[in-house]
Amino acid sequence: MLQKGAARKVTIFINEDTRHHFSSLCDSILTFLLHKGVSGATATRAMAGFGGHRTMHTTKIEVLTEHLPIRIEFIESAQKVDEIMPTLYDMVTDGVIEVQDTNVVKVAHKERPAALKGAHTETRGTARLMRIYMGESDQWQGEPLYEAMVKRLKMMDIAGATVYRGILGYGVKGHTHKSGRLPFSHDLPVMISVVDSEEKLAKALDEIESMMQDGIIVLSDVEMIRLVRTRAEGEGGRANG
């Protein structure tokens, strides 16, 4: 585990489409670092850049999105860096590896929540399912419509809502919308799924309809099974009083 004090920061610059055996070089490097016990590593994809080949690559023009730069960075002890550097050197056949001395001033690890224990109670009954279909670019008073709807449903004490983003679809206008390398160029389909009692969804429906300009709302009768975990004896919690 990374300790406070002197350390080394390693930065690796490669191309997104560079391969290593049967996978991408980026994935291979991260898998290798994980296997060797490196404390953590981050890969970021650049928006634009050029390298030794003197070719500009940018997300602004789709044909130039190939070969975009990838930056992999991690911090480890000098001993660990010396141990893994020969393999990294062999793996990076087209790119740059940079090593800098650095100083770790704080290492903090947030404890993961303990595994859930205790019994579950089960509630069954009929309920109402509402599906709301819209475009990702639809707006409501300056914010995405799907976000505004989820906020409104929460204010109305609806049990829960989930937003799904499509990867391909078309609507009544016949326009096909598709995800791709340029996410800002497509109006992808979005669906909000809501389950609650018939009375509560009837009230929510009026609000949702008033916010929509173009879309579809579908209502269905469903059988709901709700599982609620009960606290195990001795588990911490805020005391009453």
pLDDT at 185 over 60: no
Within a domain: 222: yes
Instruction: Name the pLDDT band for 230 (thresholds 50, 70, 90).
Output: low
Helices (H) and strands (E) in the chain, counts: 4, 16
pLDDT of residue 210: 92
Are 87 and 131 in a shared domain?
Answer: no
Are 154 and 202 in a shared domain?
Answer: yes
Name the domain boundary from 70, 104, 138. Answer: 104
Number of domains in the chain: 2
pLDDT of residue 61: 46
Are 46 and 74 in a shared domain?
Answer: yes
Are 93 and 170 in a shared domain?
Answer: no
Mean pLDDT confidence for 158-184: 64
Are 146 and 225 in a shared domain?
Answer: yes
Higher-confidence residue of 77 and 236: namely 77
Tens digits of residue pLDDT in 54-110: 565 555 444 444 567 889 999 999 999 999 999 999 999 988 999 999 999 988 777
Residue type, 16: E
Assign residue 215 the CATH number of its domain.
3.30.70.120
pLDDT of residue 67: 64
Mean pLDDT confidence for 154-183: 68
Within a domain: 236: no
pLDDT at 16 over 90: no
pLDDT of residue 137: 87
Higher-confidence residue of 97 and 167: namely 97
pLDDT of residue 49: 59
Mean pLDDT confidence for 140-156: 92
pLDDT at 36 over 90: yes
pLDDT at 223 over 90: no
Q: Based on the number of CB atoms within 10 Å of its own CB, is 189 exposed (0-12), middle (13-18) or buried (19 or more)?
A: buried
Residue 192 φ/ψ, nearest 5 degrees: -110, 125
Torsion sign across C-alpha atoms 174, 175, 180, 186: negative
Are 212 and 136 in a shared domain?
Answer: yes
Are 145 and 99 in a shared domain?
Answer: no
Residue type, 71: R
Within a domain: 235: no
Are 128 and 99 in a shared domain?
Answer: no
Are 73 and 169 in a shared domain?
Answer: no
User: Can you give the residue range of the structural domain that contains 30?
Assistant: 5-104
pLDDT of residue 213: 84
Mean pLDDT confidence for 132-139: 90
Q: Where is mean pLDDT largest: 44-53, 158-167, 168-177?
A: 158-167
Within a domain: 67: yes
pLDDT at 233 over 60: no
Instruction: Name the pLDDT band for 225 (thresholds 50, 70, 90).
Output: confident
Residues 217 and 198: their CA atoms lie apart, in Å, by: 15
Instruction: Name the pLDDT band for 159 (thresholds 50, 70, 90).
Output: confident
Are 98 and 125 in a shared domain?
Answer: no
Instruction: Name the pLDDT band for 237 (thresholds 50, 70, 90).
Output: very low
Within a domain: 208: yes
Are 200 and 145 in a shared domain?
Answer: yes
Within a domain: 77: yes
pLDDT of residue 93: 92
Q: Rounded to the nearest 5 degrees, what angle is found at the Cα of 72, between the Cα atoms of 68 and 50?
A: 30
Average pLDDT, the chain: 80
For residue 236, CA distances in Å to 50, 114, 230, 232 come to 54, 11, 12, 9
